[in-house]
Amino acid sequence: MGIVEAAGLVKTYGEGRAARTVLDGVDLTVEAGEIVAILGRSGSGKSTLLHLIGGLDRPDAGTITVAGEPVTGASEKALSALRRRRIGFVFQFFHLLPELSGEGNVLLPGRVRGARDDVGERGRALVDRLGLRDVADALPSRLSGGEQQRFAIARALVNDPVLLLADEPTGNLDVEAGGEVLRLLRAGAEEGRAVVIVTHEAAAAAIADRVVTLRDGRLVE
């Protein structure tokens, strides 16, 4: 059984004649240790699919499980616990809190009730491992895009999730910083995680074990 099991996903936006179906029966399985890249033109529903898998949005039809736990049909409370324990998110725009230092952002998940005891230790070790110790105390506004994204990846990894979801993770970075971020995602998979990357960049697709394209609401290998 895959870490991600999604079957028959349908998602429509709008009502009546203005309704637009972006996902029309999507099936996707992602195994532990596997990187799957999802390609597709802008507006094809790639980010929507990622948000459904991560429990940030709900499909109109279909089922999703992550690490054997149901995502579809789960209560908000159960979803929030699942995201906290099982899923790490990396976004194009970093989503770091501007008032916290880089390291403060990494350690943030440890402040949530029910967080793992070792978040502080793991977070500091990740900051060291990602070569960020020298800028650990800097606020995001003082960091380069590449540094911000590395802090965002450290934050995504701090709870040791089984699934990493990355939405255009290199979209705002130069080639060198983007390459570094892709190496980190690859390393995440080599540690046994399932990694799903939504991208339109060839370099990001090149690190994937499998590339699928979202076209007319369906995934094509």
Structural domain includes residue 157: yes
User: pLDDT at position 114, please?
Assistant: 62
Predicted confidence band at 110 (pLDDT cuts at 50, 70, 90)?
Answer: low
Per residue in 17-45, pLDDT (tens digit) is 888 888 899 999 999 999 999 988 877 88
Structural domain includes residue 15: no
Structural domain includes residue 69: no
Structural domain includes residue 65: no
Using CA atoms, how far apart are residues 35 and 123, in angstroms rounded to an integer?
23
Compute the average pLDDT of residues 173-179. Answer: 79
CA 162 to chain centre: 11
Number of structural domains (the chain) is: 1
Structural domain includes residue 17: no
- pLDDT higher than threshold 80 for residue 177: no
Which is more confidently placed, 196 or 149?
A: 196
Compute the average pLDDT of residues 125-150. Answer: 85
CATH number for the domain that contains residue 157? 3.40.50.300
Domain that holds residue 107: 33-58+74-220
Count Cβ atoms below 10 Å from residue 109 Cβ, excluding itself: 20
- Among 48-57, 165-174, 209-218, the range scoring the smallest mean pLDDT is 165-174
- For residue 210, give the H/E element and its range: strand 210-215
